[in-house]
Amino acid sequence: MSKTRTTLLAATSALVLVAAGARADDYTDLLNILRAKGSLTAGEYRTLMAKHMHHGRYRGNAPEEPGMEPSEMSARQAAAQAAASAAAAQQAAAQMQAEMTKTEAMMSSPDIVHAMPYKPGAGVTMKVGTVDINISAIVNAFYTFSSGGSTSGGPLGGTTVASGFDSSSVRNGLLPGALIISAATQQDGIDLTAVFGMYPGIDSSNVGFLNANNGGNATALGTAGVDFRKTYITFGTPDLGTVKMGRDIGLFGQDAILNDQTLLGVGASGGNADPGNTSLGRIGVGYIYADFMPQITYISPVFAGFQASLGVFQPLNEFNATGTDPITGLGASGSAGGHTTPMFQGRLTYDYKAGDAWSAHLWAGFVEQDQQNILAGDGLPAATTSRAAVGGEAGGVLTVGPVGLTAYYYRARGVGTTGLMFDGIGENGELRDSEGGYIQAMVKPTAKLKLVGSYGVSALYLAPGEVNPDLVRRNEGEVGGVYYSWTDWLTMVGEYAHTNSKSHDGLNSAANSVSLGAILFY
């Protein structure tokens, strides 16, 4: 309560008390009139007034001074009462102000936890002193039925797993579950954040070379895998930009996967009989997986809609993901494990929004890594043991009212397909080219209902001089989905996916899958 408001309250109380005390009853009025007309002497007036007060008809007190008129006595008494009331009101206001000050000091104490206003999709935030603690999560589950489809042996490195048998599973989609905890504050003018992200699946893991992503194991007494893919800090200012240090999603391929609608569903189901921590979505069927990687990345402020990111990353080994060539008995792809320099990745984005009418998000990116100690499929040093693996990408999302269109393309040499540096080196030790992309159309008939269809392809070419007919040449697929946002948290999903993998000599593997489920974000 302000000082001005306290003074006003005291003054109002005094006026009310004066008015109430100054009123006399009817008998007193009559005595005053008779005395004024001279009908009563002063002695008679005092005698009658004394009797009146004695019988309780007069509500005041006896005059303190002899000869004091009743009206004078009443006014002085009212003034005294008003002064006492004003003093009491001022004392009460002072006490209230002290209590409010004490409460404000207590609320600003770092020992008090405040709940911040809820924002849909942004998790739950608590403020502890100057630190914002945010907890968010993802939970999803799908029933997926996959037909055995057709198979003629299957290409090496294909994303379509078709054994000729139908399969059913209860599984995660492209996203596993997640529990993400972050702490953010400002110290000495610097914005600071620490993030920890745990991504557990619901299916049992088959622990192996790729850890939680090694595949599933539908056997009793199994346990789900935990993918601790995020742990990083950021520090910076709005004017100078932000530095990220730790493990988080990469820059190359980041926008491709984050704008892929199968991120909310299943897409390509992969090994559906033994589902792993995640499905494939469009990974390897339209883009190379961005992955979550150790990095030190600088992110610039936004200038006229543009923002740039540049980072140094833990270099990755070139990996023979296709296994053994059945003709030669040697590795179907070469490998490399020497790294004198880090991996470099960069990303440039542009965002524009014209009110609610339309918006655009455009991006371009690159990846570059020098590979040393290159080995051919036979394990012997390649003719050139040091080469640079490079890749570039470009894409965009255009949204006009309830309609959206996404287009993406990448081209690379030595980067491989599906995963970064997977099968990027030929059986003869030379670098392979790869390219791919996807297009996606979206329409929202209502605010809650979204219909999406997409087509994507990833191609892997033979290295110069390489003969490897069973190697995968194309992974391609179409996905159609219905997504209904039932609440702020819950989205119901229905999807159909057709995928096809073809080798360089015509081996073909195809599958069809239907997925029904739900995904929840909070």
Give the per-residue pLDDT at 75. Answer: 67
Rg of the Cα atoms in the chain: 40
CA atoms of 97 and 105, how far apart (whole Å): 12
Chain mean position to CA 304:
24
Give the per-residue pLDDT at 417. Answer: 96
Given a contact cutoff of 8 angstroms between Cβ atoms, the answer to whether 508 and 192 are in contact is: no
CA atoms of 478 and 150, how far apart (whole Å): 16
Chain mean position to CA 154:
39
Give the per-residue pLDDT at 153. Answer: 64
Backbone angles phi, psi at 130, to 5 degrees: -100, 10
Which residue, chain included where needed, has tokens 């033979």?
462
- What's the maximum distance between 2 C-alpha atoms anywhere in the chain? 142
CA atoms of 57 and 71, how far apart (whole Å): 15
CA atoms of 317 and 294, how far apart (whole Å): 14
Cα angle value 250/496/488 (rounded, 5°): 65
Residue numbers in the chain where pLDDT is lower than 50: 1-24, 57-65
Backbone angles phi, psi at 69, to 5 degrees: -70, 145
Q: How far is CA 153 from CA 201, 268, 494, in A?
A: 30, 19, 30
* Contact partners, residue 457, CB within 8 Å, separation at least 6: 285, 286, 436, 437, 438, 474, 475, 476
* Contact partners, residue 472, CB within 8 Å, separation at least 6: 155, 156, 157, 158, 322, 417, 460, 501, 502, 503
Q: How many CB atoms lie within 10 A of CB 316?
A: 23
DSSP string, 358-407: EEEEEEEEEEEEEEEEEE-TTSSBPSS-EEEEEEEEEEEEEEETTEEEEE
Chain mean position to CA 460:
34
Q: Which domains does the chain have, with CATH numbers?
A: 3-108 (no CATH), 114-521 (2.40.160.10)
Q: Where are the alpha helices (DSSP H) in 142-267?
A: 254-258
Closest residue by Cα to residue 421 from 501, 343, 310: 343
The three-class DSSP label of residue 202 is strand
Given a contact cutoff of 8 angstroms between Cβ atoms, the answer to whether 235 and 206 are in contact is: no
Structure tokens at 488: 């702020």
- State the DSSP code for 415: S
Residues present in the chain in total: 522
267-313 per-position pLDDT tens digit: 988 778 888 888 999 999 999 999 999 999 999 999 999 999 999 99
Given a contact cutoff of 8 angstroms between Cβ atoms, the answer to whether 432 and 467 are in contact is: no
